[in-house]
Amino acid sequence: MADTMVKTRWVYAFGGGSADGDASMKNLLGGKGANLAEMSSLGLPVPPGFTITTEACNHYYDNGQTYPPNLKDQVAEGLRTVEKITGKAFGDASNPLLVSVRSGARASMPGMMDTVLNLGLNDETVEGLAKLSGDRRFAFDSYRRFIQMYSNVVLDLDHHMFEEILDDHKDRLDIHVDTGLSAEHWEAVVADYKRAVEDERGAPFPQDPNEQLWGAVGAVFASWMNDRAKFYRRMHDIPESWGTAVNIQSMVFGNMGDGSATGVAFTRNPSTGDNRLYGEFLINAQGEDVVAGIRTPQPLTKIAREEMGDKNPSMEEALPEVFAQFKDVVGKLERHYRDMQDIEFTVEQGRLYMLQTRNGKRTAKAALKVAVDLATEGLITKEEAVMRVEPASLDQLLHPTIDPSSPRDVIATGLPASPGAATGKVVFTAEEAEKLGGSGEAVILVREETSPEDIRGMDAARGIVTARGGMTSHAAVVARGMGRPCVSGAGEIHIDGRAGEFRARGEVIRAYDVITIDGSTGQVMKGSVKMIEPELSGDFGTLMGWADQVRRLKVRANAETALDAETARGFGAEGIGLCRTEHMFFDPARIAAVREMILADDVAGRKAALAKILPMQRKDFVELFKIMEGLPVTIRLLDPPLHEFLPHTEEDVQAVAQATGLDAAKLMRRAAEMHEVNPMLGHRGCRLGVSYPEIYEMQVRAIIEAACEVAAEGRPAPIPEIMHPLVAKGEEMKFLRQLTDRTAKEVLAEKGVTIQYMVGTMVELPRAAIRAGDLAEHAEFFSFGTNDLTQTTFGISRDDSGRFLNAYIEKGIFDKDPFVSLDQEGVGDLIKIAAERGRAVRPDVKLGICGEHGGDPASIEFCEKVGLDYVSCSPYRVPIARLAAAQAAIGEREKDR
């Protein structure tokens, strides 16, 4: 044990044109430390320093907050190296070395942890600094900044105390700005600061630079566990076990007169991606002045200054020589890292120093442009460009979004169920949404939850809010399919339908009041908010084209209306992977016939009603086949329990009875008979086809007749894939296959033509996955219905789980909502088993996924690994799926190398 500890290296030096570490050592040195090392090795002007590793931080926490035994020696050695390079000495009264002490984790955690600047100053070294710089005022200003920062970060003293002292001085002197204070004034402030520290802590402000240094190192390690840092880590999935590194670096001063400055820069514009240096700087200032917002920073370039109509000189004009060197350095950095860089720098009396570089954070629009431009410039390959864009971020480009600079008056937060933002008047019923929406009004439908009956109202609304329901609730699934923004499960909203209002966070919102929803964050806001319209620029098309060249998985869409199908094709869908036929039954023109069918007392009665529905169904399919022009179309036969088509309340029953001439008492009786305790596990899916084969026969007939009709028009022959839902047993599948083939044969014989069609099943039940071999005897394709498969594997309701899943996520039992991102271990294992067992019986069985997970990048990566043939998702997620599929394919290939 002791032996290995002796050998462990805790400190890595950089500066003077070389470094112990490099950019690949982010895990050990943190992002900042690794890049400082890399910049030093590149010969760029970096103030020398050293990095204490993240392993030292972990050791500190694993060993009761104590340092590794030989860390002190290694730090002393690091300091000696810095002294050698700078020619200064730590604690030396005449030529003092001052350092900064900063945190630096593997992933950037801006502002979450602590920093101390100007460390090494004391009553003696401040005099040395005054002499060296020839500026006594600067030296004492630095000293008072150090006392304040150190006391706050390390000694845990409130910074207000220091501000009050400074204000007292200024009042007494009748001086209003800090710059009005002279060297003597700052000396007096320093004396008062020190006295206040001594009063507060009962000991003087530490004068020993070594004591100061270790105090600061301890504070940085401690800040890894502060509440802010912990919260940030939870939000961004950063493990606690990573730890933070500590960077100790010789100070350079941007506040040593008008030849000095400090600033930040991006090598390209981080919001638009434009290939132009972007950033700002301040003459005669220290880093924190730029962020503190006391003085307004100036643009870096002349052209940016002119565009902003700014009178004060840009860096290009104020410090032309340093600017030329800076431009050269940042160009080198971008070429070296082959990505847009986010840079911090300081100019000390005409000399440039680089303090940080990292890959810059950017908007989706900028990410696309930068990736495409870098590939066009030959700096990266097309495949690398494809890997550079976060698929989920494409959402930002496909829907209107809220202008980030616009204030938000949030009154409730729910689940971000369907992306995009919308503003409109509140309505509480689907009928009203349809009426107002149909006449061109922008409305937001606010409901407790939605049901299939609401579908037309949802379509007419600009956005949907539900108080209940999870990420795969009806509202969420349907809204995503339609591309309507939706916030589901906003439990803070209490709807009072009678009063025509809802309450949330003490606000009362009445019908027709305007609200805005953000389906990407789950926020519900009062009033209207400024929006940015989507823009599918040329870069989007270019990158998607590159993605399509490398992906293996096909991408289809879940769509049942002509509009959805057209949208899907516009986004590049290669077929329909799921057409849910029940949605077609809710049209007011057909719902009467559907109810008649449900109420019928015998097969003959049912068949008579079905005969009325048949031509309408056929028309639906003709339309879809025409839009898809020969691409595969998977049509799922009726799935939900029939009672969903019946009116529920007595009022509704009376209305329906009156409108249709159906017997109200019979309607009520039938609805009561059909009531199920667990409808999701009840008389639904292919169980309907087994009980009432005539329903499925009608649907198969409509599909095949439609295909014949389209083919007869000389259009590309459709390839219908007829899909049976919720199958559990081989015998069930056999029955359904026979029903399908028999009906199809009949139709084809009547028409005297041949067209191809396929018969398959959804895999939505654990038994179906386990006995997939039995199903494959009769099914030509499987489509994994992972919404139901997740529900039935966990025994958790997809409609109600929103209420308690949060507790599971907070307690770390689930990483993510399993209805959003596939549970790869459990549900994923069932998929693997089904694929294997299905292929063993039928090697060419076609495999796809059509649950909501088909549009989730992590789940798509899993589908690539398992070797599925396609994923199917809502139309607006098709581009996301195309990009995610390309990244998954590249990832798999890299692994094989």
CB burial class (10 A; 0-12, 13-18, 19+) of residue 853? buried
239 vs 257: CA distance, rounded Å = 43
In this structure, which amino acid lies at residue 34?
A
Task: Give the closest residue to 755 by CA, choosing from 791, 707, 710.
Answer: 707
Told to check if 560 binds ligand PEP by CB under 6 A, we report: no
479 vs 100: CA distance, rounded Å = 52
Nearer to Mg ion by Cβ, of 55 and 852: the residue is 852
Contact 765, 718 (CB under 8 A): no
Q: Which of 851, 855, 875, 879 binds ligand PEP (CB under 6 A)?
A: 851
DSSP state of 451: -
Q: List the structure tokens of 616.
A: 């309408």
Q: Please state the closest distance from residue 403 (CB atom) to Mg ion, in A.
A: 38
Residue 850, contacted partner among Mg ion, ligand PEP, none, CB below 5-8 A by kind: ligand PEP
866 vs 847: CA distance, rounded Å = 10
DSSP state of 272: T
Q: Please state the closest distance from residue 789 (CB atom) to Mg ion, in A.
A: 8
Told to check if 788 binds Mg ion by CB under 5 A, we report: yes
Residue numbers 636-655 binding ligand PEP by CB under 6 A: 639
Burial annotation 250-263 (CB, 10 A radius, 16+ → b, else e): bbbbbbbbeebbbb
Count H helices, E strands: the chain? Answer: 36, 34
Q: Which of 786, 801, 821, 859 binds ligand PEP (CB under 6 A)?
A: 786
| Position with the least CB separation from Mg ion | 788
DSSP state of 602: S
Told to check if 580 binds ligand PEP by CB under 6 A, we report: yes
Q: What is the DSSP string of 623-667?
A: HHHHHHTTSEEEEEPP-S-GGGGS--SHHHHHHHHHHH---HHHH
Place of tokens 């200054």: 305
Q: Which of 466, 787, 793, 824 binds ligand PEP (CB under 6 A)?
A: 787
Q: Please state the closest distance from residue 819 (CB atom) to ligand PEP, in A.
A: 10
409 vs 412: CA distance, rounded Å = 9
Burial annotation 504-521 (CB, 10 A radius, 16+ → b, else e): beeeebebeebbbbbbbb
460 vs 61: CA distance, rounded Å = 57
Geometric angle at alpha carbon 746, from 744 and 750, rounded to 5°: 115
Told to check if 785 binds Mg ion by CB under 5 A, we report: yes
Q: List the structure tokens of 511.
A: 């019908």
Residue 395, contacted partner among Mg ion, ligand PEP, none, CB below 5-8 A by kind: none
Q: Please state the closest distance from residue 508 (CB atom) to ligand PEP, in A.
A: 35
471 vs 878: CA distance, rounded Å = 18
Q: Please state the closest distance from residue 310 (CB atom) to ligand PEP, in A.
A: 55
Burial annotation 579-588 (CB, 10 A radius, 16+ → b, else e): bbbbbbbbee
The one catalytic residue among 486, 708, 850, 873:
850
One character per residue 440-479, x = contact with ligand PEP (rule: CB under 6 A):
-------------------------------------x--
Nearer to ligand PEP by Cβ, of 517 and 578: the residue is 578
Residue numbers 735-764 binding Mg ion by CB under 5 A: 764
Task: Give the closest residue to 852 by CA, choosing from 385, 488, 455.
Answer: 488
Which stretch in 150-158, 272-280, 747-755, 780-788 sits in contact with ligand PEP by CB under 6 A?
780-788
Q: Which of 578, 688, 805, 831 binds ligand PEP (CB under 6 A)?
A: 578
Nearer to ligand PEP by Cβ, of 341 and 793: the residue is 793
Q: Which of 785, 838, 857, 879 binds ligand PEP (CB under 6 A)?
A: 785
Residue 21, contacted partner among ligand PEP, Mg ion, none, CB below 5-8 A by kind: none
Residue numbers 748-767 binding ligand PEP by CB under 6 A: 764
Residue 851, contacted partner among Mg ion, ligand PEP, none, CB below 5-8 A by kind: ligand PEP
In this structure, which amino acid lies at residue 826?
G
Q: List the structure tokens of 684.
A: 């639904």
Q: Please state the closest distance from residue 792 (CB atom) to ligand PEP, in A.
A: 9
Nearer to ligand PEP by Cβ, of 74 and 801: the residue is 801
What separation, in Å, do the N-terminal and C-terminal C-alpha atoms of the chain show? 37
Distance from chain centroid for Cα 650: 44
Residue 580, contacted partner among Mg ion, ligand PEP, none, CB below 5-8 A by kind: ligand PEP
Q: Is residue 850 annotated as a catalytic residue, yes or no?
A: yes
H or E stretch covering 556: strand 554-558
Which stretch in 176-184, 493-501, 740-748, 787-795 sits in contact with Mg ion by CB under 5 A?
787-795
- From the CA atom positions of the chain, what is the Rg in Å? 34
Q: List the structure tokens of 46.
A: 């970096």
Nearer to Mg ion by Cβ, of 560 and 764: the residue is 764
Contact 142, 260 (CB under 8 A): no
Residue 786, contacted partner among Mg ion, ligand PEP, none, CB below 5-8 A by kind: ligand PEP
Q: In sequence order, what are the beta bridge partners of 410?
A: 525
630 vs 620: CA distance, rounded Å = 16
Which stretch in 73-81, 517-525, 782-790, 876-884 sits in contact with ligand PEP by CB under 6 A?
782-790
Count residues near ligand PEP (CB under 6 A): 11
Which stretch in 78-86, 247-255, 404-412, 781-789 sits in contact with ligand PEP by CB under 6 A?
781-789
Q: Please state the closest distance from residue 628 (CB atom) to ligand PEP, in A.
A: 19
Count residues near Mg ion (CB under 5 A): 3
What is the crossing angle of helices 827-841 and 857-866, to 10°? Answer: 30
Q: Which of 300, 509, 850, 888 binds ligand PEP (CB under 6 A)?
A: 850
Q: Please state the closest distance from residue 768 (CB atom) to ligand PEP, in A.
A: 11
Q: Please state the closest distance from residue 539 (CB atom) to Mg ion, in A.
A: 37
Nearer to Mg ion by Cβ, of 152 and 786: the residue is 786
Q: In sequence order, what are the beta bridge partners of 639?
A: none
Residue 352, contacted partner among ligand PEP, Mg ion, none, CB below 5-8 A by kind: none
Q: Please state the closest distance from residue 633 (CB atom) to ligand PEP, in A.
A: 15
Q: Are strands 18-19 and 846-849 parallel, antiparallel or unpaired?
A: unpaired
Which stretch in 176-184, 618-626, 784-792, 829-837 sits in contact with ligand PEP by CB under 6 A?
784-792
CB burial class (10 A; 0-12, 13-18, 19+) of residue 839? middle
Q: Is residue 474 annotated as a catalytic residue, yes or no?
A: yes
Which stretch in 247-255, 397-405, 406-414, 777-785 sits in contact with Mg ion by CB under 5 A?
777-785
Which stretch in 193-201, 262-270, 617-625, 786-794 sits in contact with ligand PEP by CB under 6 A?
786-794
What is the crossing angle of helices 693-712 and 730-751, to 10°? Answer: 40
Nearer to ligand PEP by Cβ, of 413 and 761: the residue is 761
Residue 74, contacted partner among Mg ion, ligand PEP, none, CB below 5-8 A by kind: none
Contact 821, 840 (CB under 8 A): no
Told to check if 49 binds ligand PEP by CB under 6 A, we report: no
Q: Please state the closest distance from residue 238 (CB atom) to ligand PEP, in A.
A: 32
Q: Please state the closest distance from residue 622 (CB atom) to ligand PEP, in A.
A: 23
Q: List the structure tokens of 126.
A: 């401040």
The one catalytic residue among 185, 474, 583, 643:
474
Q: Please state the closest distance from residue 786 (CB atom) to ligand PEP, in A.
A: 5
Which spans of this chain sit near ligand PEP (rule: CB under 6 A)?
A: 477, 578, 580, 639, 764, 785-788, 850-851
Which spans of this chain sit near Mg ion (rule: CB under 5 A)?
A: 764, 785, 788
Q: Which residues are catalytic?
A: 474, 850
